[in-house]
Amino acid sequence: MTNFDNVPNRRSPNKLNKWTWYPKDVLPMWVADMDFPAPKPILNELRKAVDQGVLGYELPSSVLKETVAARMDYLYGWKVKPEAVEAVTGIVSGFSVAARIACTPKKGVLFQTPVYNEFHEVKNNVGIPQLDAPLVKHVDGNILSYEIDWDIFEKQVKKAGIFLLCNPHNPLGIIFSRKDLIRMAEICIKSKVLIVSDEIHSELLLDGNKFTPMAKLSPEIAKNTITLIAPSKTFNVPGLFCGFAIIPDNELRQRYQKEVSRLRLHVSSMGLFASHIAFSGQCDGWLKDLRTYLTGNRNFLAEYVTRYMPDVKMTIPDATYLGWLDFTQTAIDGSPFEFFLKNAKVAVSEGKIFGKEGEGHVRLNFGTSRKILEQGLERMRKAL
């Protein structure tokens, strides 16, 4: 078993990361990287590359593309041709490229709020309209759940060039059902809207949950979908900036590749090396242990909030290491992010950056040791 209770010290004075962004007395539970070292097979591969001494240019090899395709087959029985795999510098650049080739000043980007804050930057980066299809929030005791508002979705999709899906969802932790995925896809295809599916958290499954890629559902859906994946969240190598766009349709892929080339989005050598090891299966034992540990952290978070913060509502995520907490029924006046930063010395993510529906909420990263998670929650409880 991998020991996730011991985390390295990242408070180097010469580095700027989530541990040094705020003053030393602040616990960082905000940006979405974990506090755990990457799996040893990845670290060993990177050491080999450094020890060789030549840190030259590397391009995505046919072997790497075959490895990514084999991973999709192994995980989901999804038959992907290696030539359908395009390396990108990450998921954010991946969906930005998609917006550039499929949107216009009149046909914008549609997504389901509250959602990953970088989705909200596409409108500015590409110069297109943003179309929100807010998810409907339900409260049962202190547990939050969300579902699709189909009327709003169908209305908004008619004005879109792309539908940007986040599945599993950040920050809500939802794994959308097969039924919902098919219905969303059928609506998009009918309206001639390209589906861009951000599936970066698809291997961070809790409770033994299962996941199915949007494009796996049918050949027709695959033809109309760009799937974005990366090892960065799962294997905690986000700083290496490497991801993949899987694009089965030849014509769509050529348009996408042309825009990637035009923007000179070159992937780092170390990112390519790490991705090959991550998707080769050599780290799957580590990943199994990680899922168990994160599920335990998720359960600890839910039990703690239920017991000690009865006025706080939260999701029970099916995937990811992200909790979504609702403080709108507490005595906090204003932003809970600012309240906890000042009064608890805990940095969480401001809910408003995920959309206006996030006001009064925060996103909490529980991808850390149980000890640090408990310490952060204790500080928040005392502040409340």
Q: Which CATH class is domain 27-38+284-383?
A: alpha beta
Give the pLDDT confidence score for residue 12 in this predicted structure: 87
CATH topology of domain 52-279: Aspartate Aminotransferase; domain 2 (3.40.640)
Give CA separation, 369 vs 15, 37, 219, 364, in Å.
Answer: 21, 12, 42, 14
- For residue 115, give the nearest of 59, 159, 173 by alpha carbon: 173
Give CA separation, 263 vs 136, 164, 198, 257, in Å.
Answer: 37, 21, 20, 10
Give the pLDDT confidence score for residue 30 in this predicted structure: 98
Alpha-carbon distance of 107 to 279, in angstroms, equals 35
Alpha-carbon distance of 61 to 72, in angstroms, equals 17
225 neighbors 215 (Cβ within 8 angstroms): yes
- pLDDT tens track, the chain, 384 positions: 899 999 999 998 889 999 999 999 999 999 999 999 999 999 999 999 999 999 999 999 999 999 999 999 999 999 999 999 999 999 999 999 999 999 999 999 999 999 999 999 999 999 999 999 999 999 999 999 999 999 999 999 999 999 999 999 999 999 999 999 999 999 999 999 999 999 999 999 999 999 999 999 999 999 999 999 999 999 999 999 999 999 999 999 999 999 999 999 999 999 999 999 999 999 999 999 999 999 999 999 999 999 999 999 999 999 999 999 999 999 999 999 999 999 999 999 999 999 999 999 999 999 999 999 999 999 999 999
Report, in angstroms and rounded to the nearest whole number, the Rg of the chain calculated over CA atoms: 20
Whether the model clears a pTM of 0.95, i.e. scores above it, the answer is yes
Which residue intervals of the chain bear CATH 3.90.1150.10? 27-38+284-383
Helix (H, G, I), strand (E, B), or coil: what is residue 138?
A: strand
Helix (H, G, I), strand (E, B), or coil: what is residue 146?
A: strand
Percentage helix, strand, coil, to 5, in the chain?
Answer: 45, 15, 40
Which residue intervals of the chain bear CATH 3.40.640.10? 52-279
Residue 261 CB-density burial (10 A; 0-12 exposed, 13-18 middle, 19+ buried): exposed
Residue 40: CB atoms within 10 A of its CB come to: 14
Give the pLDDT confidence score for residue 14 in this predicted structure: 87
